[in-house]
Structure 1
């Protein structure tokens, strides 16, 4: 049991270290030696858990995807509309990008050609946003003529764009940016009778997921 717990801790340390190195140096220039040194483990221990750098990068993406799945599960609240859940989730995503290096690296890795696109975190986020907008459409909350596909593309482009711009200026991930984005977008995509708050939910924030459950 002790050995198993140690292995789990080592694996997590390697994923966290890899995320930090990938975020700082980029996937291609980074080395396994740098990652193992950052994690405080030997190269042999690294190779015991991960066959190569690509396998380690996919592990970072998978860990980030787990966080996003939990984030969207907790978005909204009992009785909330799909649009409100979407707004809440984007606020949570910004919290993740600010505080969770694994999530930030996971999004960065989505654009690395050597990794392929089968597990891209941006695709996961895009899929959920589009699905949620289709639910909003079925609820009768999308304005006439608004396409869930087009709205999803705009929302994903904006949220991912905030992350990219924050590489040079963290203020792009300031809460006011997301509030301003939704205050601009909501009147154009929501029916006039739908009440959706562009502000974050009034709940204690978890530094990893951005939100906590009800």
Structure 2
């Protein structure tokens, strides 16, 4: 049992070290030797758990998917409107990215040329489906304009969110992400939400940004 626990701890250490390097330097620019040094483990320990760098990337994507699915499930269980659920979920993902190098690296890996192995689905597919479902719900609830193209809105949101992180990585710290997510929502709310419903959601985005910055 103690040996198994140590093996699990070593595996987690390697994943965290790889995630940190993938996020800071990129997948292609990070070698297994870099990861061994950063994790302070032996090459034998790394190869015991991961046969190739791609296996490490896939492990990170799996952990990111689980964390995202858990977050969405928790938010959806609270009975918020569709639009509020979507806004809260994006800030929740931002919180994960700020707090943990694994989801942070996952955001960068999804844009790399890495094949996602079944049964894992590509994060973009899951995010697009979730956003499309929530925008469709927001149309029914009259929280967005009735003629909204929900597919286009969902695609724009996912690209906006991921692009905000990817573009910002080299020019500002990850702690700036909550502000960027709030700015994203302020723009989208003004374009998608009827005037009389905008104050509620602008206030929500501002509140969630404040909570995330002070957490």
TM-score where L is the length of structure 1: 0.83
Retained in 1: the 8 A contact 2:135–2:154?
Answer: yes
Aligned length: 207
Report the structure, 1 or 2, having the larger helix content: 2
Deviations 1:72-114 (A, max 9, x none): 223367331010011111112222222221111111111221x
Flag the 1:193–1:204 CA change in 2: closer, same or farther, 3 A: closer
Deviations 1:49-92 (A, max 9, x none): 11211111100111111121122223367331010011111112
SS at match of 1:75: helix
Q: Which has the higher contact order (CA 8 A, sep 6+)?
A: 1
TM-score where L is the length of structure 2: 0.83
Match in the other structure for 2:42 = 42
Deviations 1:145-174 (A, max 9, x none): 101111111211111111012212137834
Match in the other structure for 1:28 = 28
Give the 5 Å matches for 1:88-99: 88-99=88-99
SS at match of 1:27: coil
Match in the other structure for 2:152 = 150
- Identify unmatched segments of 5+ residues in structure 2: none
RMSD (CA atoms): 2.8
Picking from 169, 174, 179, the partner of 1:176 is 179
Retained in 2: the 8 A contact 1:107–1:122?
Answer: no
Picking from 176, 194, 206, the partner of 1:199 is 206
Does 1:111 pair with 2:111? Answer: yes
